[in-house]
Structure 1
Amino acid sequence: MGTATGSGFDTETLRQAVEGPREETLVSLYADDAEIRIVDRNTQPSHPMVLHGHDEIAAMYHELCSREMTHKMEQIVAQGDRVAFSESCVYPDGVHVLAESMLSLRDGKIVEHTMVQAWDE
């Protein structure tokens, strides 16, 4: 059973969308004016990749969900208008990815998402 935060956000819906992966459900969790900031080896903290708004976020999830890989939500913590979670992914060739995310919510939708990810090299 999922956990609804104080803002009405259901963590089980997030888990199912991530692990599906379910592109349309993932995109539907974001507010129209949401922003995603991604930090990794190529987009370091001083110059993160930043996606603004529904169209850019939808394009990212379209590309991500088209990849052949498995996704698993490892841990999730929700409190009030904040959600944090760990996700592990594996490509068919054995390459692993670990992502840590922090979400800020408004009216049950994600408005800010910061993700730090590490890939096998």
Structure 2
Amino acid sequence: MGTAAGSAFDTETLRRAIEGNTGNTLLSLYTDDAEVRIIDHDSQPSHPKVLHGRSEIAEMLDDVYSRDMTHKLDGCVVQGDRAAFSESCEYADGVRVLAESMITLRDGKIAEQIMIQAWDE
């Protein structure tokens, strides 16, 4: 686990944000103009779902954190202005989700994120 040199971004902050009960803390880790690209079964690599800015990211996080599920940060590596992390989630009915993210940091906040996720069907 690590901390980006000269920034406020670290894995414990990310862990608390991901494992929290709302997406508010996680949202605070993004820049105002952040971009998130999501690749999964529904949004293939050639046509990813793209979220622009904190308001669109907030909508996604509100949806995700309104569900009856748990979230866990499995690991994170921070090096300079880049980080990668793994997150696992589980719905109350046992369905599991795994997400891998690569992020670019600006001034200690997430400016870009590419997330690849898969879930039980």
TM-score computed with the length of structure 1 as normaliser:
0.94
Shift of 1:75: 1.1
Q: Equivalent residue for 1:5?
A: 4
Number of aligned pairs? 120
Q: Equivalent residue for 1:46?
A: 46
Residue identity over aligned pairs, in percent, reads: 62
Q: Equivalent residue for 1:75?
A: 75
TM-superposition CA deviations, 1:10-34 (whole Å, max 9, x none): 2211111101143111111000110
Unaligned runs of 5+ in 2: none
Taking the aligned partners of 1:115 and 1:89, their CA distance within structure 2 comes to 14
Q: Report the 3-state secondary structure (helix = DSSP H, G, I; strand = E; otherwise coil) of the residue aligned with 1:67.
A: coil
Taking the aligned partners of 1:63 and 1:22, their CA distance within structure 2 comes to 10
Taking the aligned partners of 1:24 and 1:7, their CA distance within structure 2 comes to 24
Q: Report the 3-state secondary structure (helix = DSSP H, G, I; strand = E; otherwise coil) of the residue aligned with 2:3.
A: coil
Shift of 1:64: 0.8
Unaligned runs of 5+ in 1: none
The answer to whether the 8 A contact 1:16-1:22 is kept is: no
Shift of 1:96: 0.5
The answer to whether the 8 A contact 2:71-2:89 is kept is: yes
Shift of 1:7: 4.5
The one-letter code sitting in structure 2 at the alignment partner of 1:84 is A
- Structure 1's consecutive aligned runs of 4 or more residues displaced over 3 angstroms after TM superposition are none
Taking the aligned partners of 1:6 and 1:21, their CA distance within structure 2 comes to 29
CA distance 1:7–1:41, change in 2 (3 Å): farther
